[in-house]
Amino acid sequence: MLGTTRLGPFFETILDLIYPQACQHCASKIITHSWSAKNTPSHVYFCTPCWESMLRLNGPVCPVCSAPFQSESTLLHSPSHVCGDCREDPPSFSHAITPYRYEGVMAKAICLLKYEQRTGLAKNIVDLFMADLSGLEVDWVTAVPVHLSRLRSREFNQSLLLAKEIARRKEWPLSLDMMTRIRKTDAQVGLSKKQRKKNMHRAFRVRHLDQVSGQRLLLVDDVYTTGATLKEAAKTLMKAGAKAVTVCAPARMVFGEGNSHNIDHRTPTVLQV
């Protein structure tokens, strides 16, 4: 049970039996114990089989933006083959790390973090992809900023919570405000590729040039949707003199595979930037 930490194990067990938590994905009952090492937010909101069911993007992906290729053999003969998007409009970032599909449990976990202030989940989500960050050399970590008006209504930037946890675990310096969002952009839903790019045009401005100039940066977002936001933010940083920008989001929307039945119903709101 949540909020029962002062009642003691015996009463907690009784309360858990009377009012067990339900898994946020499959609704099965979860018995939680505050003295258990497993009582982390991921185990409070999700049952273990659900948490472990998250789908990684394990197939061949674009070596630049990490978009999954439809064919398993795409990279067999030309490992540096980049996707059509990256050829048509090369991003300013050097690499995108987007290890999980934005669907099912991952989508729900991000919605809980983003809209219901379950901030403890940031640590569990970062746990899932720490290995994907190995080998990276980073001078500063920062998050894609949200516009001040959105920050007022939501009170915190969920991407910054993820960036903060990455910085803590990797012992990389964290910048809270390297960049600012100077334009409140429209929702990206239903826009064409060209319109999305135009929508994001000059949405950001660098605030601390000393943290950018000549630096290797890791830019964190919660979901990689169309990439328009991260591309524009990375472009702003590179124009300001960054040495390299790697972008990272735990989850990625995968389009064109008919998997929408498995996506959380609140998904469209996440597309708003």
- Contact residues toward Zn ion (CB under 5 A) are 23, 25-26, 47, 50, 62, 64-65, 67, 83, 86
Closest to Zn ion by CB, 62 vs 128, is: 62
Closest to Zn ion by CB, 33 vs 170, is: 33
The answer to whether residues 251 and 167 touch, using CB atoms and an 8 Å cutoff, is no
Sheet containing 216-220: which strands, arranged edge to edge?
Answer: 95-97, 244-248, 216-220, 140-143
d(CA 65, CA 248): 10
Residue 185: CB minimum distance to Zn ion, A: 22
Residue 174: CB minimum distance to Zn ion, A: 28
Residue 223: CB minimum distance to Zn ion, A: 17
Per-residue burial over 29-53, b = 16 or more CB atoms within 10 Å of its CB, e = otherwise: ebebeeeeeeebbbbbbbbeebbee
Burial group, residue 2, by CB count within 10 angstroms (0-12, 13-18, 19+): exposed
Residue 42: CB minimum distance to Zn ion, A: 11
Q: Which residues contact 203 (CB under 8 A, 6 or more apart)?
A: 181, 182, 183, 185, 229, 232, 233
Closest to Zn ion by CB, 67 vs 106, is: 67
Closest to Zn ion by CB, 7 vs 82, is: 82
Closest to Zn ion by CB, 47 vs 160, is: 47
Residue 44: CB minimum distance to Zn ion, A: 12
